[in-house]
Every structure is written in C-alpha cells, then in structure tokens.
Amino acid sequence: MNISFFIPAYNCAKTVTESVISILETNFQEGDELIVVNDCATDNTAQVLDDLKARFPIIQVLNHKRNKGGAAARNTAVEHARNELLFCLDSDNVLAPDSIKPLKAYLLEQDADVASFQEQHFFTDNKQAPHYTWHLPAGVFDNKQYLVGGNTPGQHGNYLFTKKSWAKAKGYAEGSGALDTSTFGLRQAITGAKKVILANSWYYHRLDYKNSYWMKDAEANIWSVSMKVTYALFPFFDRIDEDFLEYMLGKGKYKWYYELKKKPIKLIPEGKSKETFYKDLHLKIYNFVYPKATIWERVVKKVQRTMSSR
C-alpha cells in the first residue's frame, strides 16, 4: 500500500523545505504522493513552495484563498489524497531517515488504523542534540489514555493512519485551532481506531515558542481550550455519558479538559445506545407539557359527561 504524505503549511517559509526533503530523500517510495496545502500564508511560503515544486515536480501544492486553520488544511489534503494510507508531517518537523518503511510495515502487520513513532526528539537548531525526548509505550496503544488525559499520539499528530479511520472520525475538527490534532486523535479513539506504537522509532519536533501555533492559540486563550474540545466532540455526543455531557456543558465547560485525570471522559458501553435515556427524557417532558389530570379533575369531567348525556 502506498502513502499520501501531506503537510499543512502556514508562514513556514524557513522550515518547510527541510520537512519536504525529509520525506522525499529516504522515506518516499514509488506510488506515494506528497500534498502541501498553503493555508493562505502571509510570508513568502507560496514562493518557497513554488520553488520546491519546480525542484520536485511530484509535489502537489494546493492553495486556500483564505486562512482556514490547521484542521481545514489537513482535511483539504486528505480529501485530495489518492492513497488509503496517510501521513501528516507538520511544516516545521522533520522525519528521521528511512523511518517510514518500518512504521508502515508495523501498521500492516498489526492490522492497525494508526501507527505512531515511539519518540519525539524536541530540538531547536541541532536535531542530533535534542533538548529533551518524549516517549510513548511501545505496542498496542490503550485508547483510554485519551479519556484520562494521558500522553497520546494525538498530542503531536505526526503519524501514519488510514483514510477509513479519518472518515470514521469525521475528519479533523475545523474550528478547534491548535487542538486540531489532539481532538482528531480523541475522535479516532472514540470511534475505536486501533493504534500501535513502533518501538525504537522517532521523528524530530522543532521547538519555536515565539511562533508556536499552540502557544499563540491555546496557551494565549487557555480558558477556551475545553470549549474547543467540546465543540470538536459534538458529532459524538451520542457516545458520551449524559452525566459527563452535563458536566462538559455546565460547570466544567472552561476546565474539564484540564481535569481529565480527576474526572475522565465517560463513554457509554460499546454496542449500546442512549435510546433508553432519550425515551425516559421524552416521557418526562411529555408529562410536564401534558400533565395527567388529578383525581378531582377526572371526577368533575365524568360528572360533566354524565350530565351532558341526559
């Protein structure tokens, strides 16, 4: 199976070339494709992408006429992808040489929906001297970690996945800002995507606090994070326990996402529905709108009917 690599690109003129080369140099095979979506960048990203396409004609460059955000750029790429396997690489990150082939082999061997590298090597200038390394446990990943606020592949979003899992998750949640990959991973988890982590594998994750999408969007508006995740989960409210939904939409609406370790997301059991809940709710509301007559009212009506029939 071939891979459609894609890169969402916004104001990344200084970094996107290294990202592209890290795909094409040792990780690209015949039948693969590379799609770069320019999300209406305001620097000279467009010129850099034109130069890259002239150098590597295999690149497909798509352009948004207005800035739509990272989730929309990712969805645009997937919608144009011809292959069933997809790999998203952010425009400031870098693949390790020859790292994709074993990742793909592991996904196919495990019949998984998602395959992630085990490590992120966070760097600024020198990839070979990372500031620190972030780890995930190797093997089949426990999707419950998404529900309890644990470390997950979705927090970085640079992984291999199937187009089928993207469709089941209803794509990336547009309007979620810098939470686009973490909410996508959560949506994949809720829809049962099987995730695996390849041991002794990594990619390079660039640190740039000044221009970080996360710092500018989420950290600058930390009060809005839980609300954005709630919005991203709206298509899956039928899978979430009603008591937890009430908490999400009520007293916890500004903070629930930060308190998952104390109060995890509660889903309804697999294979069940909330039909009973809604039947009971319907009956409760019906009885409120159309209350049953009291005994006295029934007696009066019976007398009235008796008198009118004479």
Of 90, 121, 95, 124, nearest to 208 (Cα)? Answer: 124
Any idea where the domains of the chain sit in the sequence?
3-213, 275-308
Sequence-distant (6+) residues with CB within 8 A of 310 are: none
> Would you state the pLDDT for residue 278?
60
pLDDT digits (tens, 9 = 90+) for 186-207: 999 999 999 999 999 999 999 9
In the predicted model, residues of the chain with pLDDT beneath 70 are: 209, 211-215, 218, 271-282, 297, 299-304, 306-310
CATH: 3.40.50.10420, 3.30.460.10, 3.20.20.70, 3.90.550.10. Which one for 3-213? 3.90.550.10
Quote the pTM value: 0.87
Question: Dihedral sign, CA of 17, 185, 183, 205?
Answer: negative
Task: For residue 87, count CB atoms less than 10 angstroms from its CB and return exposed for 0-12, middle for 13-18, buried for 19 or more.
Answer: buried
Share of the chain above pLDDT 90, in %: 78
User: Distance between CA atoms of 71 and 303, rounded to whole angstroms?
Assistant: 68
